[in-house]
């Protein structure tokens, strides 16, 4: 089993993968999207197929009071589009997997802050953060999902 974590951003979409035992998350790169995270859908599907992903965890950027703003609604639409596109590919016999992976949303409040803190603690300079913070945020999102799965 492998899970994929996704951090949707305006410039980049960060990705993280779990180990097969679903214990830890590790960075899996960024996809440059130039203002529209929907451009990443096909690349994310390629990663899902290549890595045999059976669960996708998408960050849900809730507001600090827990309500959903525009960004959260966009993340829901993105996750729905991902499911629809994979289902259509499966129906057409063009999906490399035998089933569409589960797609869930996880509260991602403060994940970027946590990601910056982790990068700082790893002594990665502030100027270098921009290129890796999205995938590190995806790691935090995915690790949160993995840990909550274990605690159930």
Identify the structural domains of the chain with CATH numbers, from first to last: 3-150 (3.30.420.140)
Rounded to whole angstroms, what are the CA distances from 94 to 42, 54, 83, 99? 13, 17, 14, 12
Count of CB atoms within 10 A of residue 68's CB? 14
Longest dimension (CA), the chain: 48
Q: Residue 32: what are its φ and ψ, rounded to 5°? A: -75, 130
Rounded distance between C-alpha atoms, residue 78 and residue 41, angstroms: 8
The whole-number mean pLDDT for each consecutive block of 10 residues of the chain, a chain of 152 residues, reads: 94 95 96 92 97 97 87 95 97 95 88 56 56 83 89 60
* HSE, side-chain direction, 13 A CA sphere, residue 120: 7
Strand order, beta sheet including 102-107: 25-32, 12-18, 3-7, 55-60, 102-107
3-class SS at 10? coil
How much is the pLDDT for 132?
72
The residue to which tokens 């690790």 are assigned = 143
DSSP state of 40: G
Q: Residue 55: what are its φ and ψ, rounded to 5°? A: -155, 130
Alpha helices in 3-150 (DSSP H): 41-51, 70-91, 111-121, 126-150
| pTM metric for this prediction | 0.87
């Amino acid at each position: 089993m492998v899970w994929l974590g996704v951090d949707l951003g305006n410039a980049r979409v960060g990705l993280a993968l779990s180990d097969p035992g679903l214990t830890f998350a590790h960075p899996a790169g960024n996809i440059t999207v130039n203002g529209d995270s929907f451009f990443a859908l096909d690349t994310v599907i390629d990663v899902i197929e290549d890595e045999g992903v059976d669960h996708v965890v998408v960050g849900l950027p809730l507001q600090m009071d827990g309500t959903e703003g525009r960004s959260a609604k966009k993340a829901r639409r993105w996750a729905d589009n991902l499911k629809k596109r994979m289902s259509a590919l499966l129906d057409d016999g063009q999906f490399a997997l035998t089933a569409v992976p589960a797609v869930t949303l996880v509260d991602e409040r403060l994940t970027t802050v946590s990601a910056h803190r982790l990068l700082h603690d790893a002594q990665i300079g502030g100027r270098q953060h921009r290129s890796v913070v999205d995938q590190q945020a995806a790691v935090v999102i995915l690790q949160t999902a993995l840990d909550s799965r274990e605690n159930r």
